[in-house]
Amino acid sequence: MVIYADNAATTKMSATAVHTMLSVMENNYGNPSSLYSIGQKARETLEEAREEIAGVIGANPAEIFFTSGGSEADNQAIRSAAELGRKNGKNHIVSTAFEHHAVLHTLRKLEKEGFQVTLLDVHSDGLVRPEEVEKAIREDTCLVTVMYANNEIGTIQPIRKIGAICRKHGVLFHTDAVQAVGHLPIDVVQDQVDLLSASAHKFHGPKGVGFLYARKGVRLSSLIEGGAQEQGKRAGTENVPGIAAMAAALKEAAEGMERNTAVMTEKRDRLIRGLKGIPHSALNGDEKQRLPGNVNFCFEGIEGESLLLLLDDKGIQASSGSACTSGSLDPSHVLLAIGRVHDVAHGSLRLSIGEDTTDADIDEMITGVTQVVTYLRSFSPIWRDLVSGKKAFILP
Ligand SMILES: *Cc1c(COP(=O)(O)O)cnc(C)c1O
């Protein structure tokens, strides 16, 4: 039996999303830009999806731009704001050290193009402080970009407070909401967000499709040139089956959100309590201000990669951080950003549970992780040094 506990990396498509996608592929194959009826049918499906999605986040349909996923939406949002800033002689951007690489690497590129970037520190609880955002804003700041919820440690940021600060100072505000959309109630008007990124495969939709919300009046620049699709801001024939499936998945997620949150939060907290029983371990990120499905721990004296492989042998599919950094030997930039030292950050484990995770799965994960950590420690030279007092424990 397999327990899938990596829902922050990607989710299984819901039956409704699969069914919608197949049905559009089979019966609704027109090009939405074509004027005859088959094309117009596809156009209708596309616009219905746009309305559905806009409704879930409190936007107008004309403010939703379909993309190939979260990374593209992040790139386009940040590049657009930077371009608008440059036109007004503003070339400073504020962000945080624990953003997704789609944000961080875009910012790094912009630095090479002459922009100045301030990356705020994240506190040990995994939360950004709104007052520090405000302090970092300068005369020449054109954009603040802070993620809604972190993909590794699941902490939910004070987006509404940051939005109000940005609005007050007349600075554009982008949030990478890829982990939040479909999991948390979002209202772009109340949150005072100007730009927001989302991705379907993080809420049981298909991979390779997402959207960017851009508030009316915020002019997007295009990353891809060509046809006039998406108000001329994103060329290329629309991924109609994927977009329809994304809308179906989001509708389902929104309708089930309250119930799912309650059920998952209870399971999450039980898993946290169970893993806290392992000595010299620590939960990463605030215990309450976190996504209902996210559990992230550090275990001293072991190495995350071995932990993952042995858990896989037990049928438990987990992650040491983000899928994007697995395969590299550097510890997670997120864990370093919240102040974990290298040695401790190396022994990290993220278990991101889903709506289908059962109580029995939780029990099995607690037992499995406890066994594997104990086993790995039994022959770890670092652990031997810690136990013999040669090195001091960092985690209690
Ligand atoms: C997954 C993820 C992305 C990237 O989305 P893709 O659709 O895979 O490109 C960006 N930001 C966050 C926070 C994510 O979790």
* pLDDT digit string, tens, across residues 47-56: 999 999 999 9
Q: How far apart are CA 257 and CA 244, in angstroms?
A: 20
* Candidate of 122, 146, 176, 350 to mutate for ligand 1, largest count of ligand atoms within 8 Å of Cβ: 176
pLDDT range class, residue 320, cuts 50, 70, 90 = confident
Q: What is the DSSP string of 161-195?
A: HHHHHHHHHT-EEEEE-TTTBTTB---TTTTT-SE
Q: Which residues are catalytic?
A: 324
Tokens of 146: 């802070």
The label of the residue with tokens 């072991």 reads 302
**Nearest atom, ligand 1, residue 208 CA:** 7
Nearest-angstrom CA–CA distance, 356 and 173:
34
Residue 142 to residues 90, 125, 148, 193, Cα–Cα distance (Å): 6, 28, 19, 14
Q: Determine which residue's CA is closest to atom 6 belonging to ligand 1.
A: 70
Q: Whose CA is nearest to atom 5 of ligand 1?
A: 70
CA pair distance 54, 65, nearest whole angstrom: 10
Give the pLDDT confidence of 276-314 residue by residue, as tens digits: 999 999 999 999 999 999 999 999 999 888 999 999 999
Tell me if 49 sits within 8 A of 21, measured CB to CB. Answer: no
The residue type at 337 = A
**pLDDT in the model for residue 343:** 87
Q: Is the CB of 178 within 6 Å of ligand 1?
A: yes
The encoded tokens of residue 250 equal 């989001």
Q: From the alpha carbon of 199, which atom of ligand 1 is closest? A: 7
Q: What is the pLDDT of residue 324?
A: 44
String of DSSP letters for 49-93: HHHHHHHHHT--GGGEEEESSHHHHHHHHHHHHHHHHHHTT--EE
Q: Which amino acid is at 344?
A: V
Global pTM exceeds 0.75 = yes
Nearest residue to 274 via CA among 196, 362, 389, 188: 362
Radius of gyration of the chain (CA): 22
Count of Cβ atoms closer than 10 Å to residue 189 Cβ? 12
Distance 251 CA to ligand 1 centre (A): 20
Task: Report how far residue 213's alpha carbon sits from residue 16's, in angstroms, rounded to the nearest whole number.
Answer: 24
352 Cβ inside 6 Å of ligand 1? no
Q: In the prediction, which pLDDT does 67 show?
A: 98
How does pLDDT run across 218-275, given as a tens digit for each residue?
999 999 999 999 999 999 999 999 999 999 999 999 999 999 999 999 999 999 999 9
* CA nearest to 84, candidates 184, 264, 221, 188: 221
Q: How far apart are CA 280 and CA 183, in angstroms?
A: 31
- What's the pLDDT at 68? 98
Separation between Cα atoms, residue 358 and residue 337, nearest integer Å: 32
Interatomic CA distance for residues 59 and 180, integer angstroms: 16
Q: What pLDDT score does 323 carry?
A: 46
pLDDT per residue as tens digits for the range 96-147: 999 999 999 999 999 999 999 999 989 999 999 999 999 999 999 999 999 9
- Residue 321 pLDDT > 70, yes or no? no
**How many of the other CB atoms lie within 10 Å of CB of 251?**
19
Residue with tokens 């939005």: 163
User: What's the rounded Cα separation, in Å, for the pair 390 and 333?
Assistant: 28
**Rounded mean pLDDT of the chain?**
96
pLDDT in tens, 341-394: 988 999 999 999 999 999 999 999 999 999 999 999 999 999 999 999 999 999
Ligand 1 pocket, residue 106 CB under 6 Å? no
Question: For atom 8 of ligand 1, which residue has the closest CA?
Answer: 70
Tokens of 328: 């590299």
Of 181, 164, 253, 213, the residue nearest 60 (C-alpha): 213
Q: Residue 330: is its pLDDT beyond 90?
A: no
pLDDT per residue as tens digits for the range 198-212: 999 999 999 999 999
Q: Separation of 136 CA from ligand 1 center, angstroms?
A: 26
CA distances 64 to 16, 178, 195, 358, Å, are: 22, 15, 10, 35
**Nearest C-alpha neighbor of 302 from the set 252, 240, 369, 250:** 369
Q: What is the mean pLDDT of residues 325-330?
A: 57
pLDDT of residue 328: 55
Instruction: Please report which helix (H) or strand (E) contains residue 281, including its range.
Output: strand 281-283
CB 294 within 8 A of CB 271: no
Query: Residue 60: CB partners within 8 Å, gap ≥ 6?
Result: 54, 216
d(CA 163, CA 189): 10
Predicted pLDDT at 80: 98
